[in-house]
Amino acid sequence: MHLWWSTADSEPFLLQEIHRAFPTRDILRPAPGFIGLDSIPSDSGPMAFAAQTLPGARIIAAPSIRAWADQLTDAIVADLPEDAPWHLHLAPCYGQGSAGLNRCGFIRESLLDGLKRRRRHRLRSLHPSTDSLQPGAGLVQALLSAPDAGFLSVLPPDTVDAWRSSLVPCPAGDIPVASDKSAPSRAFSKLVEAEIRLGRRIGPEQTVIDLGASPGSWTYVAVNRGARVMSVDRSPLRDDLMGHPRVTFHQGDAFQFAPAAPVDWLICDVIAAPDRSIGLVLDWVRRGWARQFVVTIKFKGSAEYEKLDGLKRELAPLCREFRLSRLCANRNEACVMGIIR
Ligand SMILES: C[S@@+](CC[C@H](N)C(=O)[O-])C[C@H]1O[C@@H](n2cnc3c(N)ncnc32)[C@H](O)[C@@H]1O
């Protein structure tokens, strides 16, 4: 079964998104927040309202912590290659509070304890990161829909690669919202989240155009990574960024701006109608003005969410990979990020 998991505020929109993408297919609703199809042949691209994707998911019934750990061990041994690194995403998708988190903690302990005693090499190849999917690593996802039930998806490394545009590198797709009191605003966390989703960070000496840059949190992230930034807005940035040696400020309209030469990154957080932001990202991608991009799309209401379907269709042939997602750092926005062919 192919499953998507979404949070309660996204679930109705995810259901509509799946209906539009697969109009003739029967949709499965095996547990609250979990929506699926019996299978899909290959990665059909990201679902903007899915928090996480579980390809090849199976239903698990496990009455005890030990039963969870045993079933996970069996699946790891059967489905992952002996020597490959792997990631473990184990998360509760039910209830409020800490009970589910505690249960997952105990399941994890029991699993690791069992591996230590009987499958030590599997334990050694467990990759510690829960905010990146390393190239060449497999992925084991166990999402609990209740204390004694849930879904398990085990992807060997080549399958992780095949599904990469739909997979979020954090358990249950829950990306912790970053904070930095020195940043000009909380918008800071959106760009950090986009980098995690894409699995790429802005790097030293890279060139960046930041459209709709004021007061400057995205520019702040980019210069802190060592990049050179051209920041475009009608309003100036915070004073220290206006005077920063690697920032050039251009006062003007983001939609009229064209770079003198292609850049490494387009980052854009302009407040505009969705059609305008969608048009902007497609224009930059078609013209090859940036090798990578992160662009937010802001909505006034859910009636506009359908517009993301067209964006996905248009971007697919133009990009080596792209992601499209509602952000954990701002539930009212979608963010599209990608790497151009
Ligand atoms: C959400 S704020 C950007 C926050 C910024 N990313 C940061 O991290 O500080 C949106 C910005 O878009 C700018 N903006 C809106 N329309 C614009 C346009 N047509 N051209 C340039 N900037 C525009 C606004 O002035 C505002 O500063």
Q: Which atom of ligand 1 is nearest to the CA of 217?
A: 8
Of residues 242, 289, 240, the one with CA closest to residue 263: 289
Q: Which atom of ligand 1 is nearest to the CA of 221?
A: 8
Using the mean position of ligand 1's atoms as its centre, give its distance from the Cα of residue 213 in Å. 5
Q: How far apart are CA 235 and CA 214, in angstroms?
A: 6
Structural domains in the chain, sorted by start: 2-173 (3.30.2130), 188-340 (3.40.50.150)
Give me the torsion for CA of 285, 290, 291, 295, rounded to 10°.
Answer: -70
Q: How far apart are CA 153 and CA 167, in angstroms?
A: 12
Using the mean position of ligand 1's atoms as its centre, give its distance from the Cα of residue 280 in Å. 14
What pLDDT digit, counting tens, does each position of 226-239 carry?
A: 999 999 999 999 99
The total of other beta-carbon atoms located within 10 Å of residue 237's CB is 23
Using the mean position of ligand 1's atoms as its centre, give its distance from the Cα of residue 149 in Å. 45
Using the mean position of ligand 1's atoms as its centre, give its distance from the Cα of residue 211 in Å. 7
What pLDDT digit, counting tens, does each position of 274-298 carry?
A: 999 999 999 999 999 999 999 999 9
Q: How far apart are CA 169 and CA 136, in angstroms?
A: 14
What pLDDT digit, counting tens, does each position of 47-98 carry?
A: 999 999 999 999 999 999 999 999 999 999 999 999 899 999 999 999 988 9
What pLDDT digit, counting tens, does each position of 142-170 carry?
A: 999 999 999 999 999 999 999 999 999 99
What pLDDT digit, counting tens, does each position of 157-215 carry?
A: 999 999 999 999 999 999 999 999 999 999 999 999 999 999 999 999 999 999 999 99
Place of tokens 């042949």: 41
For a pocket test of ligand 1, which of 191, 214, 220, 244 has the largest count of ligand atoms closer than 8 A to its C-beta? 214
pLDDT higher than 80, residue 43: no
Q: Sign of the C-alpha dihedral, residues 285, 286, 290, 291? A: positive
- Label the pairing between strands 290-298 and 333-340: antiparallel
Kindly list the protein residues whose Cβ atom lies closer than 6 A to any atom of ligand 1. Answer: 184-185, 187, 212-218, 232-235, 253-255, 269-272
Q: What is the reported pLDDT for 58?
A: 97
Q: What is the reported pLDDT for 7?
A: 95
Q: What is the reported pLDDT for 62?
A: 97
Q: What is the reported pLDDT for 118?
A: 87
Could you give the percent of the chain with pLDDT greater than 90? 94
Q: What is the reported pLDDT for 97?
A: 85
Buried b (16+ CB within 10 A) or exposed e, 96-134: eeeebeebbeebbebbbebbeeeeeebeebbbeebeebb
Q: What is the reported pLDDT for 203?
A: 98
Q: What is the reported pLDDT for 96?
A: 86
